[in-house]
Amino acid sequence: MGLLSKKDTALITDPLTDNNPITIQVLGICSALAITAELKASLVMGIAVLFVLGVGNVVISLMRNIIPSKIRIIVQLIVVASLVIIVDQVLKAFAYELSKTLSVFVGLIITNCIIMGRFEAFALGNGPWRSFLDGIGNALGYAVILIIVGFFRELLGSGTLFGIPVLGDSIEKTGVYAFGYENNGFMLMPPMALIVVGIIIWVQRSRNKALIED
Amino acid sequence: MSNKTDSNIYTILFAIVMVIVVGGLLAFTASALRSNIDENKRLEKQQNILYAMGVNENEGNSAVFVSTEKAPELFSQYIKKQLVIQDGKVSEDDQAYLIDVKKEQANAKVGNARRLPLFVGEKDGKTFYIAPIRGKGLWDAIWAYVAMDENMVVKGAYFDHKGETPGLGANIKMRYFMDDFIGEHLMKNGAFKGINVAKGNADPKNEDKTDNEVDAIAGATITGDGVSAMIKSDLKLYVPYFETLKQ
C-alpha cells in the first residue's frame, strides 16, 4: 500500500459512496442547487471546493491545538474566507480571465456547509495528512454529485453538454427536435436540482438498505 | 490543553492576534497586487469597448477579446474620439474610458450633472458610437458597452456581470444573447423606446429587428429585466446627443 494505509484510503473512498456529503450528510445543498444548470459550472465549482477544502483542512488541523473552543467556528470562518479571498486576488492579478470565471463562485465557496462541516467534524480532531485526505475525499464526493446533477440538468434543460449542442438545434428543429422533442425549461430552475438530488438519494438508498434510517 | 485554551484571556488574546495576522495578510496581498489588478481592469475596458464595435477574435460560438498585448494599440487605432457629455455640452477627453459609470450614477442621484462618456470608433468606413451603461441584475451589478450607429440602431454589444447565477443569469455574456442585439432598433417612431428582454415574444430567431425586443434567457428573468432597465434608463440619456448628429 505504501503511501496510503487502509484507513487512509477509506477517508477518500467513503465520501464517494456511503458517506457522501450531499446525499447522506445533506451538506452543501445550497450550492448544489444553485449552480448545476450547466455541467461546466458544476465542474469548476467541484475543483474550487477541492482546492479550498484540501488546503483549509490542513490549516485548521495544524491550528487545532491552539484554537480556543469558544470561538472555533469564527476562526474556521476566517481561515476559509481569507484563503478564498487571497486566491481570488492573486488570480485577478495574474490570471484575470480565469478569475472572472471563478469570482462568482467565491461567495458560494465561503458559505458552503461542507467546508465548515469538515473543519468542525474532522480537521479539529485529526492530523494534517489525514485531514488533507478527508478534505480531498469529501470534495470529490461533492463534485461527483454536482457533475451528475449538472449533466442531467444541462442535457434535459438546454440540450447541450459543456455548452455543445448534443441533441440537435432546438430552433432549427434538427436532431431529436425534429421528432417533436422539446427542452424542459423547468430543468434549469433550482427546484429541479432538488428533485434530481432526491432521485440520486433514492437510488443510493434502495441499493444499500443499511443507509435507511428508522 | 483544554484548560489553557478555555480561559477567557487566552480566547481574547487569540482573537486579537488572529485579527492582526489575517488583516495584515489581506492588506498586504491587496496592496501588493493593486497595480496589477488596476492595469488588468484598464485593459479589460479597452477590450470591452473594442469588442462592442466588432473588433474581437470571436471563433465559433465563443466570445473572444483581442489579446491584452494588442488592446492598447488597437484601441488608439479604432477609437477616433472619446467624448464626455455633461449638461448637454460635449467635450473631448482621451481618458474618458476611465470614467467610472457607477460613481457618475451615484453623483446624478445627489443632483450633480452626470458625465456621460461616449466613444466614437471607425471600422471599415463605418462610424460606431459606443456607450457604457450599468444596472442591477439579480445578485449584483451588471453592465454593458453598446455600440450604435447615428440612428441609434445597435451594431454590437458586450454584457458583463459581477455575480449572476452561473448557467442562468451569467449567460448574458454568451454570444447567443449578445449577438441578438445586433441590428435591433432603440428608437420607435422617432421616440426612444429601448430594447426589452422579452419572454414569449414569438420571435426566437430574432428576425424582427424593429420590434424593440430580444428573446430572454430561460431561468434568468430578473437578470433579463435588469438588462432591459439599464438600456432604457442609461441609453436614453444619449438621445439628445444623437439628435444633434442629425442636424
Answer yes or no: are the C-beta atoms of B192 and B239 closer than 8 Å: yes
Indicate whether B15 belongs to any domain: no
Cα B162 from Cα B178, distance rounded (Å): 17
A171: left (phi over 0), alpha (psi -120 to 50) or beta: alpha
Indicate whether A7 belongs to any domain: no
Indicate whether B228 belongs to any domain: yes
**In chain B, which residues have their Cβ closer than 8 Å to the Cβ of A67?**
5, 14
Answer yes or no: are the C-beta atoms of A35 and A149 closer than 8 Å: no
Q: Is residue B1 predicted with pLDDT exceeding 70? A: no
**In chain A, which residues have their Cβ closer than 8 Å to the Cβ of B6?**
68-70
Range of the domain at B82: 45-246
Residues 6+ apart with CB under 8 A from A132: A54, A57, A58, A61
List C-alpha distances in Å: A151 to A70, A102, A154.
42, 20, 6
Indicate whether A112 belongs to any domain: yes
Indicate whether A133 belongs to any domain: yes
CA angle at residue B134 from B159 to B212, to 5 degrees?
Answer: 65
Q: Are A188 and B167 an interchain contact pair (Cβ–Cβ within 8 Å)?
A: yes
Indicate whether B25 belongs to any domain: no
Range of the domain at A40: 20-206
> Which ipTM did the prediction report?
0.72
Residues 6+ apart with CB under 8 A from B190: none
Indicate whether B36 belongs to any domain: no
Cα B137 from Cα A1, distance rounded (Å): 53
Indicate whether A13 belongs to any domain: no
Our count of domains for chain B comes to 1
Indicate whether B20 belongs to any domain: no
Give the model confidence (pLDDT) of B96-132 as tens digits: 888 899 999 998 888 888 899 999 999 988 999 999 9
Indicate whether B30 belongs to any domain: no
What pLDDT is attached to residue B3? 61
Indicate whether A192 belongs to any domain: yes
Residue B216: its H or E element = none
Q: Are A69 and B37 an interchain contact pair (Cβ–Cβ within 8 Å)?
A: no
Chain B interface, best mutation among A96, A103, A162, by max B CB count within 10 A: A96
Q: Which among A34, A82, A105 has CB closest to B22?
A: A82
Helix, strand, or coil here: B133? Answer: strand
**In chain A, which residues have their Cβ closer than 8 Å to the Cβ of B33?**
89-90, 92-93
User: Which has the closest alpha carbon to B70: B39, B49, B43?
Assistant: B43
What pLDDT is attached to residue A24? 81
Q: Is residue B153 predicted with pLDDT exceeding 90? A: yes
Give the model confidence (pLDDT) of A43-56 as tens digits: 888 888 898 899 99
Q: Phi then psi for B206, rounded to 5 degrees?
A: 55, 55
Q: What is the pLDDT along chain A (214 residues), one digit of tens a residue?
A: 456 777 888 888 888 877 888 888 788 888 788 788 888 888 888 888 898 899 999 999 999 888 888 888 899 889 888 888 888 888 888 888 778 777 777 777 887 888 888 898 899 889 999 999 999 999 999 999 999 999 999 898 888 888 788 888 777 778 788 888 888 878 888 888 899 999 998 998 888 877 776 6
Indicate whether A157 belongs to any domain: yes
**In chain B, which residues have their Cβ closer than 8 Å to the Cβ of A93?**
33, 36-37, 40
Residue of higher predicted confidence among A101 and B229? B229
What pLDDT is attached to residue B51? 93
Indicate whether B234 belongs to any domain: yes
Cα A159 from Cα A89, distance rounded (Å): 35
Q: Is the dihedral of CA A35, B141, B181, B92 positive or negative?
A: negative
Alpha-carbon distance A204 to nearest alpha carbon in chain B (angstroms): 27
User: Which has the closest alpha carbon to B129: B144, B150, B143?
Assistant: B150
Alpha-carbon distance A33 to nearest alpha carbon in chain B (angstroms): 11
Indicate whether B2 belongs to any domain: no
